Amino acid sequence: MAEDNREKKLTSYGDAGFSKFIRQAFNRHLGFDTEDFNKPVIGICNTKSEINRCHAHIGPLVQAIKNGVLMAGGIPLEFPTISLGEINTSPTTMLYRNLAAMDTEEMIRAQPIDGVVLIGGCDKVTPAQLMGAASADIPSIIITGGPMNNGEYEGRTLGACSDCRFFWQEYRGGKVNEQEIDAINKALAPTAGHCMVMGSASTMAVCAEAMGMMLPGGAAIPATDNRRLQHALETGKQIVQLVDKGIKPSQIITRKSLENAIRMLVAVGGSTNAVIHLIAIAGRLNIDLPLSLFDEISKTTPFIANLRPAGKYQMEDFFKAGGAPVVLKELENLLHNEELTVTGKTLGENIANVKCSETYREIITPFDRPLHKEGGIAVLKGNLAPNGAVIKPKAASKDLLTHKGRAVVFSSLKDLEERIDDPELNITADDIMVLQNAGPVGAPGMPEAGMLPIPQKLLKEGVRDMIRISDARMSGTAFGTVILHTAPEAAVGGPIGLVKTGDIIEVDIEKRLLHLHVTEEELENRRTVWNPPLFEERGYTQLYQKHVLQADQGCDFDFLVQKPNKGL
C-alpha cells in the first residue's frame, strides 16, 4: 500500500527510473538510508505560525507525532500549509478557508506521502484540513493544538472570545472603566491554545471526533496538558496503522458519520459556523447535507453540554467531565455506531467502555435529564430567507424568540460602522437590525459580523440584546438573538438585499419562520432597480467572488465540490 501510493506520485520527467534516482539522492539530506524510504512515509501537515497564536505552540506536539510515527515504524516528514488565525487575518479568515483547503489537498496529493496527520486548531483550519483530506483521500488523522485554560478576573471565569465581546459591550455601555477593561484584556487569553469556550474551533474539534477523523478524547484536552502530548504520540502511531490497513477518509466521512457530527454539534450547543463547514466537507465527497437535516437532527437531539456561550462551563471543565466521548456515550442510542473511525474500529467500539462520572454531571448531563430537550441549532425559512437562515436559540433572549418589529437597515459593514453610534439614529430596542451585503460574495468572505453591535445609545439605556438579521456569520463564541447565513445573500439578489428601513419583519423560532411583511409585487419593483455589486478586478478575491457557493451549500468553490459520477 505504502509503496504503491508513492509510485503514483513520481515527479514527471518522462523517465520513472530517473525520477526515483534523483529523489533518493536529494532525500538523503534527511539522514535516512534507501531502505528507510520503503517504510510508510507520513506527512505532518503543520499550520504553525507566530502570527496565528492559536497554533504558535504546536512545535512539541509535532515532535510527539513524529516520535509516534517512528515508534510505529514509519518515516515522519513535516510540511507547512497556510495558517489562518481569526484575530490577525483580515478581512476574515473565511475568505481563505477554501484557499487553505486547496493548499492542503494539493500538497497531500503532490508529495510522496502515504498518510498524513493534520495539525492546526483555530476556527477555519480544522474544516479546511478536513476538506482537503477528504478530497486527497489518503489515510489521514486530524489533531488540534487544543483549547486554552480558563482565564480569571476578580473571581469570575473568563472565556475567549465570549468575554471579549461581553466586556467590550459593557465598556461601550459605560459599565466597565478603562482600568478594568485593561485588566480584563490581560486575562482573556492566558495560555497557549485556541478559544476555550464552545466556539468554532472547539466545535469543529468535537465534530471531527464524532465523524471519526480524530482519536477519541482529543478535542477537549487543554493545550497545556501533558495528556495532549500523549494524544499526539498516539496519533503518530495510529496513522501508520491506518496506512497499513489502507483506511481512507472516504471510508470514514460518510453521510452517517456526518449525521453523528451534527448530533454532536447540536448536543453541545456548538457554533453555527460548523453548519457551513460540515456541508462543505460533505460536498467534497458528493454527500448531500441539506440545511433541513440540521434542523431535523436538532429537534431530535437533547442539549446535554453546559458550555459557553450557550451554557456555563468551558473546555477545561468539559475535559474533566470526559469531553466528546462522554457526549457520544450519552447520545449512543441516536448515533450510527457502526461507522468506521481512525482507530480502525467503529464509533460504537470506541465508546463501549466510556464512563460518565457523576461528579461532573452539571457539565455533561445524562441523556434523560438534558438541559433542553432539543439541540442548539434552528433553521429558519420564509420569504426573507428562501434557502434558509440559522440561529442558536439557546444563545438568544427568550422574549425575542417570537417577535414582530420594524427593520432598521444597514446596507454594508461600512454603513454599519459609520451610523451605529450616531446619536441621531432612529432606533428602539423593539426594532430589528438588518445588515446587508456581508455574505460570501458581498463582503466578500462572509465575515463574523452577524452579531451587530447594539447602538451605544440603547446600551446606555440598559438594552443588551436585539434581533439582528444578516447574510454574515457570527463567531461561535458570540451570543444574542442573531439570525445568520440568510440565503441567498444580498449580493446575489437575495431578498435580504431588498429590505428597507421601516419594513415589518416577523420572527418565530418555534415555527422556524422568517417573514418580511412586504408584498411580492413591491419586492418585484425593488428588484428591478437593484444593482449587483462590482467584483474585485483581479487575484484570489475575484476567483472567490466568482466561484463561492452560498451559505446553505457550504461556501466551498463550485469547482471543488465533487460532482456525481455521470457515467456514460
The footprint of ligand FES (CB under 6 A) covers: 54, 85-87, 122-123, 161, 194-195, 199, 201
Q: Which is nearer to ligand FES, 99 or 379 (CB)?
A: 99
- Look at the block and give the residue holding cell 452577524: 450
As a whole number of angstroms, the distance between CA 53 and CA 146 comes to 12
**Four-point Cα dihedral 473, 478, 481, 485, nearest 10:** 10
Alpha-carbon dihedral sign for residues 454, 458, 464, 466: negative
C-beta of 216: minimal distance to ligand FES in Å? 22
C-beta of 290: minimal distance to ligand FES in Å? 28
Cα–Cα nearest to 512, from 430, 406, 401: 401
Q: Which is nearer to ligand FES, 199 or 270 (CB)?
A: 199
Buried b (16+ CB within 10 A) or exposed e, 40-64: bbbbbbbbbbeebbbbbbbeebbbb
C-beta of 122: minimal distance to ligand FES in Å? 3
C-beta of 470: minimal distance to ligand FES in Å? 20
As a whole number of angstroms, the distance between CA 50 and CA 567 comes to 47
Q: Which is nearer to ligand FES, 122 or 215 (CB)?
A: 122
Q: Which is nearer to ligand FES, 123 or 234 (CB)?
A: 123
C-beta of 309: minimal distance to ligand FES in Å? 12
Is residue 456 within 8 Å of residue 425, measured between CB atoms?
A: no
As a whole number of angstroms, the distance between CA 432 and CA 422 comes to 17
Q: Which is nearer to ligand FES, 45 or 189 (CB)?
A: 189
Q: Which is nearer to ligand FES, 66 or 194 (CB)?
A: 194
C-beta of 206: minimal distance to ligand FES in Å? 13
C-beta of 420: minimal distance to ligand FES in Å? 23
Cα–Cα nearest to 271, from 553, 452, 453, 485: 485
Is residue 301 within 8 Å of residue 331, measured between CB atoms?
A: yes
Q: Which is nearer to ligand FES, 159 or 480 (CB)?
A: 159
C-beta of 88: minimal distance to ligand FES in Å? 9
As a whole number of angstroms, the distance between CA 347 and CA 69 comes to 23
Q: What is the rounded radius of gyration, in angstroms, for the C-alpha atoms of the chain? A: 24
Cα–Cα nearest to 344, from 258, 408, 268, 252: 252
Q: Which is nearer to ligand FES, 101 or 201 (CB)?
A: 201
Cα–Cα nearest to 194, from 161, 152, 242: 161
The kind and range of the H/E element at 260 are helix 255-267
As a whole number of angstroms, the distance between CA 326 and CA 378 comes to 24
Buried b (16+ CB within 10 A) or exposed e, 285-316: bebebebebbbebbeebbbbbbbbbbbebbbb
Q: Using the 8-state DSSP alphabet, how is residue 408 labeled?
A: E
Q: SS3 breakdown of the chain: % helix, strand, coil, rounded to 5?
A: 40, 15, 45
Q: Which is nearer to ligand FES, 138 or 197 (CB)?
A: 197
C-beta of 548: minimal distance to ligand FES in Å? 22
Q: Which is nearer to ligand FES, 148 or 514 (CB)?
A: 148
C-beta of 87: minimal distance to ligand FES in Å? 5
